[in-house]
């Protein structure tokens, strides 16, 4: 049986400032680091063969914290990067609406066919994530793997495992920072969801506030 866990990186400075991050880097906040440490404690008793991380700093830093004392590799996978938001990266929503309102409206109305300026559209993003996720299933068959990625990336994974099409409001329904999800995949690639967006390890701490 193949078991895959996945988590979203800890809170970042740009998360707190409501800035579009995309492929740009933003440092983890103290809250984000604490959440990653609490997740590390939760998975201490889980046997993992490796961690696969988005190469973006916020995800890789989270992966390093979550690994804790485990003697396992952290493997970077470009396919698990967040969606490329192009020219919008680093900007707040109100700034984008003020400066590029028409372009923003076109994307919000049809994110599948309209790319972020100098970035990706939702269809391209989904296909990229889907490929990397299928590769993990094939390349780590009968192993226990943890994927550390981003809200949008995990929304694509959720769409794949639950067999639904992402809607245009997908950004508002992503998993919590440092939540934990888990699936099992059998030899015929049938997927069983064990738990999803679980934040039990964060409860009672500032990491969830």
Average pLDDT over residues 59-70: 97
Of 37, 82, 89, 120, the catalytic one is 82
Domain ranges for the chain? 2-84+122-208
134-176: pLDDT as tens digits = 999 999 999 999 999 999 999 999 999 999 888 877 777 899 9
The pLDDT of residue 207: 66
184 is in an annotated binding site: no
| 9 counts as catalytic | yes
Query: By C-alpha distance, which of 120, 132, 123, 128 is closest to 84?
Result: 120
61 is in an annotated binding site: no
Cα dihedral 68, 71, 77, 80 in deg (nearest 10): -30
Cα dihedral 136, 160, 42, 48 in deg (nearest 10): -20
What is the side-by-side strand order in the sheet with 50-53? 74-76, 50-53, 144-149, 2-8, 180-185, 191-198
162 is in an annotated binding site: no
User: Which CATH topology does 2-84+122-208 take?
Assistant: Rossmann fold (3.40.50)
| 133, burial (CB in 10 Å: exposed 0-12, middle 13-18, buried 19+) | buried
SS3 137: helix
Q: What is the mean pLDDT of the chain?
A: 95
150 is in an annotated binding site: no
Of 9, 61, 150, 201, the catalytic one is 9
> Which residues are within 8 A (CB) of 90 and not within 5 positions of it... i.e. 6 or more apart?
14, 19, 20, 21, 24
Longest dimension (CA), the chain: 51
% of the chain beyond a pLDDT of 70: 98
Q: Between the CA of residue 59 and those of 36, 74, 101, what are the distances in Å? A: 10, 11, 30
Distance CA 163, CA 160 (A): 5
């Amino acid at each position: 049986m193949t078991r895959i866990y996945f988590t979203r990186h800890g809170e970042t400075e740009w998360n707190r400032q409501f800035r579009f991050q995309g492929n740009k880097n933003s440092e983890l906040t103290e809250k984000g680091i604490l959440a990653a440490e609490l997740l590390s404690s939760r998975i201490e008793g889980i046997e993992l063969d490796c961690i696969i991380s988005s190469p973006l700093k916020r995800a890789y830093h989270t992966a390093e914290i979550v690994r804790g004392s485990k003697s396992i590799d952290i493997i970077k996978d470009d396919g698990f990067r967040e969606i490329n938001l192009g020219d919008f990266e680093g900007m707040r929503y109100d700034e984008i609406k003020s400066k590029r309102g028409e372009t923003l409206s076109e994307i919000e109305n049809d994110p599948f066919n309209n790319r972020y300026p100098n970035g990706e559209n939702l269809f391209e993003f989904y296909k990229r994530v889907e490929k990397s996720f299928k590769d993990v299933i094939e390349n780590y068959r009968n192993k226990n793997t943890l994927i550390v990625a981003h809200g949008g990336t995990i929304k694509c994974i959720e769409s794949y495992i639950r067999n639904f099409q992402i809607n245009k409001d997908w950004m508002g329904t992503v998993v919590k920072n440092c939540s934990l999800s888990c699936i099992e995949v059998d030899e015929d690639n049938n997927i069983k969801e064990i738990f999803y967006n679980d934040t039990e390890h964060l409860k009672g701490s500032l990491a969830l506030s």
